Structure 1
Amino acid sequence: MKFVRPLAAALALTAAAPLFAQEAPAPAPAPTEAPARQAPPKLVVVISVDQFSADLFAAYRAQFTGGFARLMTGAVFPSGYQSHAATETCPGHSTILTGARPYRTGIVANDWTDFSAPREDKTVYCSEDTSVPGSNSKNYTVSDKNLKVPTLGEWMKAANPASRVVSVAGKDRAAVMMGGHKTDEIWWFWDKTKSFQSYAGRAMPPSVARMNAQVADQLSKPRDAMALPAFCQSRDRAYNLGNVTVGSGRMARKPDDLRGFKASPDFDASIVSLAIDLANDMKLGQGDATDLLIVGASATDYVGHGNGAGGTEMCIQMLALDQTLGRLFTALDATGVDYAVVLTADHGGLDIPERNRDLGATMSERVLPSAHANAVGKQVQTALKLPLQPLTGSSFGDVYFDPRLTKKQHKAVQAETIRIYTALPQVEAVFTRAQIAGTAMPKGPPETWTLLERARASYEPSRSGDLLVVLKPRIMPISSPGPGYAATHGSIWDYDRRVPILFWRKGMTGFEHPLSVETVDIAPSLAGVLGIPVPVEIDGRCLDLDAGPETTCK
């Protein structure tokens, strides 16, 4: 049996018409006849929706009629946790298919500082190879070298070398961190070429070449404003943030508007369409071994960053993604392959403070420029009469001390930096390396962890900072919003930590579990479904996904 190529191609060719005005009826719920429960599925599909918070899921779940509606007939965990402190794209994706928190994966942030890096630029991007001559953190070679642990795909290959792993995402860090070190195909969208690319030397399959041609065609044309569904009309309110207005957009764009394309349902449609075509060409799930298809849907993150989570832009995106996922599952249904799906997110997100205040949120504001590490560093330099500005970092998160400081200067810089930060009204706490390293690894429900325990789950001594700066809840760490960057995530608070986790397989008994689980539970749970061993020490636990007499967890 084959995946249906015309249906897959249609996903990417949505540029010419409003997404909702001519929308086909949503696919009906999947058939309920169950496969033999003793047999593992032939295909596992893992989907990450970038910046899909538990709050977004709760706000839209009653409106879903497509792919999300399908998934909600399975096992629903509305309070999944990216339990660590560094709620960014790279750390979050590193937890999903490794079963390990960032202190194990080594992925402590999207970027960190390494003063021993063999180049002038000491910033390290999480998915790069710093040893490549002439590279830097903005002009890098994509690599899996920084990921310290194996992924589910590698566990599957160890159990059966015939298993194949395919990873497709809108971001390289999503494709790499979920795919791991032994992918058969791995493709991500590369801004510099405005196309899907892979590691150097890998042949481009015809399906990728076709998709790149379709993306080029979409980018060459204007995009008309999308229809606004009735449910979204109450969210239609414009907010002028100075350099950008958000809240009432309709996804219209001019030719060659790459930012607009990526922050739209069209981007996710191209990612999902490519995943279907690769699965079709490779006949995933149709061999003797179970295969793994990984999909990183990135558009929600770009919509969230550019517009926040509460306006028409996110409403259009959520309802469109639901339909795109529905088409993915319809295509998989047509193959007759027994497949299982899990969907989650790498982190949540915080809506723009301007809208949050209108909705009654207290202490919701943008971070002051005085909280930035460079501004604090200048104060420290002046106070201590140092010959250099001693701090590297941002307005929150890891802060690094210049290694040229003497031991005495280092001690003085730490004390003065903590004094300045803790005096700022927007700062909740400042933790030292010693405090974090001396904290026991957290146990129990992740919502009960202290701030230090959350930090401990993200701490890796060779990559983490000398200090961790924690802003107070609802402080947006963007001082001056602009096009594409009005809101963000990355905090230690639950609006960034909580994400949904949804499991589905045809015939399974659906249920909703109200208590918290973690994204590190996904990989061991899938290993339980597949009946394969977990070959390394991990942090996650196997969740029993079958309410019948046979358990998936041993």
Structure 2
Amino acid sequence: MAQDAAPPAQKVTAATPPPKLIVMISVDQFSADLFAQYRGHFTGGLARLASGVVFPSGYQAHGATETCPGHSTILTGNHPAHTGIIANNYFDLAAAREDKRLYCAEDETVPGTSSGSGKYAPSVDHLLVPTLGDLMKARDPNAQVVSVAGKDRAAIMMGGRKADELVWLAPTGLTSYRGTALSPTATQAGTAIAAAIAQPRKGLPLPADCADQDIAIPVGDRVVGNGRLARDGGDFRRFLASPEADGAVLAAGAALRQARRLGEGSTTDLLILGLSATDYVGHGFGTEGTEMCLQIMGLDRELGDFFARLDATGIDYAVALTADHGGHDIPERNRQNGWPAATRVDTAINPDAIAKSVAEKLGLPEPLLYSDGPFGDMYLAKSLTAAQRKAAMAEFIARFRAFPQVEAVVTGEELAARPISKEAPDNWSMLDKLRASYNAQRSGDFIVVLKPRVTPIADTSRYVATHGSVWDYDRRVPMLFWRKGLAGFEQTNAVMTVDILPTLASLIGLTVDASKIDGRCIDLISGPESSCR
């Protein structure tokens, strides 16, 4: 005897009670361009989200479109100017340690540490504002917050200060803050992840949807564009650059949800998932080859499996998905695909070499300038007199502006005098974008902006592509919302990732002081009713 069909989901209205679980997903480097390119191919979790409330023109509105600043906006409602997370790395020339460069998610006061990879002590200390999880815990200490990610900065910047569990991928499986013991469930999940890392992986079969992407592109002394994401056993870097890594984060998140019974209590809980593989693939191979196609198809499949597992619990949950930034493809492929002006940065735009020359010309002591690369924030030495500082600034600005690949050089004084724009982010000027990243206590004395489609990577031995610019290919990201019974619609007008916190807060009835955030609530209910309360 045939069973009756399941009853349709009750339509979500303004009177519908809050969901029991919020699932916040960030897909690192999942640009609006990638979403649009592959949208017609989704059959799994991304297809579900694309049937919900879709904002294809979301913006990481600020100018320094890097991982840490982007993640700091998603669940704080604030631009980097207010989160204090102005870049992945910035300089504090007053820091007590010899290494004046600070990693965005470290505690530089820990003895014996430095900002280098694996040499820092992970910390949330540099984040200046609370996250959604922090506000939820302040309202109700029984609310649970769990943050799991592929990168420490993703887990930390979205998880905040009060997360019950906060973990990220490591060669040993999962790890957390130094001195923090993993829960039994996280330990078990980490053991399974470590076992997967130890196993070699053959190349993935290429779906028919990826066949057109199978074009070999020489870059330096290697070839990209036709790879299958194969790796040797124990190769953690290659593990991170694959759907396996995202699957590991999702599986760990699902296990922690089950163990802690998130979504089953009297209040709303928060599960945060930072999926980083798309970023590693983008950096290592670019955004257009078979490698990225395999990654996006795998992401869609892994999300589908995760949602099916959540569905089986019967929990009323809502999902939001966005990205910390977009991304730009390799110039070698861009030149083949209709953009002949795409290029790599001129090695002459070397801040260290320029600083040495300026110091010699003006008779100033070295080191004169601190920077993290050929663009972004530049810091003058604090030992300079006012007259020396003025002369050095003028010389640096003139020299950087003389490079044909440099679009602009903007001083911190110019940005400090400018209010943060309240206009739609697609209409922002370059100064508006840079202002949203500018924090007077942490930003540089001047900022160098490269022209569009100048890839700021000259040495391709490790990475071939990147992001971080003020241009829209790095700023535009999708913003997707889904809940069972929530009528889907699409709105193409520009919104911002800083709008996510007030939108989710309203969904769960959490009052947020609008004067303390840069974002606004977005109405997720189609028609005259509103989810913004």
Choose the corresponding residue for 1:137, options 115, 118, 126: 115
Q: Distance in 1 between matches of 2:296 and 2:39?
A: 10
Q: CA–CA distance in 2 between the matches of 1:320 and 1:302?
A: 14
Equivalent position of 1:363 in the other structure: 341
In structure 2, the partner of 1:184 is 164
Q: Which amino acid aligns with 1:318?
A: I
Q: Secondary structure at the match of 1:412?
A: helix
Post-superposition Cα deviations, 1:342-398, rounded to whole Å, max 9, x if no partner, equal 000000011000001111114210001111211221221232233324111110000
* In 2, Cα distance between equivalents of 1:30 and 1:514: 32
Report the Cα distance in structure 2 between the residues aligned to 1:31 and 1:222, rounded to whole angstroms. 44
Q: Match for residue 3 of structure 2?
A: none
1:548 Cα offset (Å): 4.7
Counterpart of 2:151, as a letter, is K
Match of 1:34 among 11, 15, 20: 11
> Is 1:400 aligned with 2:379?
yes
**1:349 match:** 327
2:361, 2:472 → 1: CA distance? 36
The answer to whether residue 235 in structure 2 is matched with residue 257 in structure 1 is: yes
Letter aligned with residue 405 of structure 2: Q
Q: Would you say the 8 A contact 2:18–2:508 is kept in 1? A: yes
Tell me how far apart the structure 1 counterparts of residues 469 and 479 of structure 2 sit (CA, whole Å): 20
Task: Tell me by how many angstroms 1:551 deviates.
Answer: 1.6
Match of 1:529 among 468, 492, 507: 507
Moved more, 507-516 or 204-213: 204-213
Contact 2:189 2:255 in 1 (8 A): no
* Contact 2:173/2:192 (<8 A) preserved: no
Distance 1:286 1:295, change over 3 A: same
- Residues 30 and 70 in structure 1, CA contact (< 8 A), matched pair in contact too: no
- Report the alpha carbon displacement of residue 537 of structure 1 after superposing the two structures with TM: 0.9
Equivalenced residues, count: 523
* Aligned residue type for 1:541: R
Distance in 2 (CA, whole Å) between partners of 1:38 and 1:31 is: 15
Matches within 5 A, 1:84-99: 84-99=62-77
1:421 matched to 2:397? The reply is no
Give distance in 1, aligned partners of 2:387 and 2:397: 16
Q: How much does 1:258 deviate?
A: 1.2
Answer yes or no: is the 8 Å Cα contact 2:241–2:278 preserved in 1.
Answer: yes
SS in 2 for 1:335: coil
Which runs of structure 2 are paired with 1:45-56 in the superposition (5 Å)? 45-56=23-34
Q: Which amino acid aligns with 2:374?
A: S
| CA distance 1:453–1:30, change in 2 (3 Å) | farther
Which residue of structure 2 aligns with residue 18 of structure 1? none
Q: Deviations over 1:490-547 (max 9, x none)?
A: 0011000000000000001100001000000000000111111014610000000011
Q: What is the aligned counterpart of 1:67 among 45, 49, 65?
A: 45
Structure 2 residue matching 1:77: 3-state secondary structure: strand
Question: Is 2:137 the counterpart of 1:160?
Answer: no
Q: 1:200 offset after TM fit, Å?
A: 3.3
Q: Tell me the alpha carbon deviations over residues 443-470 of structure 1, each in whole angstroms, 9 at most, x when there is no partner.
A: 2111111111111100001110011000
1:227 corresponding residue in structure 2? 205
* Structure 2 residue 388 is matched with structure 1 residue 409: yes
- The Cα of 1:285 is off from its aligned counterpart by 0.3
Give the aligned partner of residue 202 of structure 1: 180
1:71-90 alpha-carbon deviations (Å, 9 max, x no partner): 11110000000000010000
Q: Is the 8 A contact 2:214 2:225 kept in 1?
A: yes
SS of residue matched to 2:93: coil
Structure 1 counterpart of 2:381, one-letter code? D
Q: Please give the alpha-carbon distance, in whole angstroms, between the structure 2 residues aligned to 1:326 and 1:134.
A: 44
Is the 2:73–2:498 contact (alpha carbons within 8 Å) kept by the matching residues of 1? yes
Shift >4 Å, 4+ stretches:
none
SS at match of 1:161: coil
- Greater mean alpha carbon deviation, residues 231-240 or residues 75-84: 231-240
Contact 2:78 2:517 in 1 (8 A): yes
Q: Which residue of 2 aligns with 1:516?
A: 494
Which of 347, 354, 370 lines up with 1:376 in the alignment?
354
What is the DSSP-based 3-state SS (H/G/I as helix, E as strand, rest coil) of the residue aligned with 2:348?
helix
Q: Which amino acid in the other structure matches residue 460 of structure 1? A: N
Letter in 2 for 1:143: S
Check conservation: 1:174, 1:296, Cα contact below 8 A: yes
Post-superposition offset of 1:314: 0.2
The one of 445, 448, 458 equivalent to 2:427 is 448
Q: Is residue 221 of structure 2 the alignment partner of residue 240 of structure 1?
A: no
Aligned partner of 1:34: which letter? K
Structure 1 counterpart of 2:274, from 296, 318, 328 = 296
Distance 2:467 2:121 in 1: 25
Q: Which amino acid aligns with 1:111?
A: N
User: What is the DSSP-based 3-state SS (H/G/I as helix, E as strand, rest coil) of the residue aligned with 1:369?
Assistant: coil
Unaligned runs of 5+ in 2: 1-5
Q: What one-letter code is carried by the residue in structure 2 that aligns with 1:521?
A: D
Give the conservation status (yes or no) of the 8 Å contact 1:369–1:375.
Answer: no
Aligned-pair CA distance for 1:211: 2.2
Matched AA of 2:443: S
Offset at residue 549 of structure 1 (A)? 5.0
Alignment partner of 1:143: what SS? coil
Deviation of 1:218 (Å) = 2.0
In the alignment, does 2:493 pair up with 1:486? no
- 1:381-432 per-position Cα deviation (integer Å, ceiling 9, x unaligned): 2322333241111100001111122221111111011111111000000001
**Alignment partners' CA distance in 1, 2:179 and 2:358:** 48
SS at match of 2:136: helix
Aligned to 1:175: 155
Partners of 2:302 and 2:158 in 1: how far apart? 21
For residue 31 of structure 1, report the CA deviation from its aligned partner: 5.9
Quote the offset at 1:439 in angstroms: 1.6
Q: Distance in 2 between matches of 1:179 and 1:221?
A: 30
The aligned counterpart of 1:545 is 524
Does the Cα contact within 8 Å between 1:143 and 1:176 map onto a contact in 2?
Answer: yes
Is residue 372–residue 396 contact of structure 1 (8 Å, CA) maintained in 2? no
Bigger mean CA deviation after superposition, 45-54 or 400-409: 400-409
Asked whether the equivalents of residues 147 and 177 of structure 1 are also in contact (C-alpha less than 8 Å), the reply is yes
What corresponds to 1:466 in structure 2? 445
Mapped to 2, the partners of 1:31 and 1:77 lie a distance apart of 25
In the alignment, which residue of structure 2 is the partner of 1:305?
Answer: 283
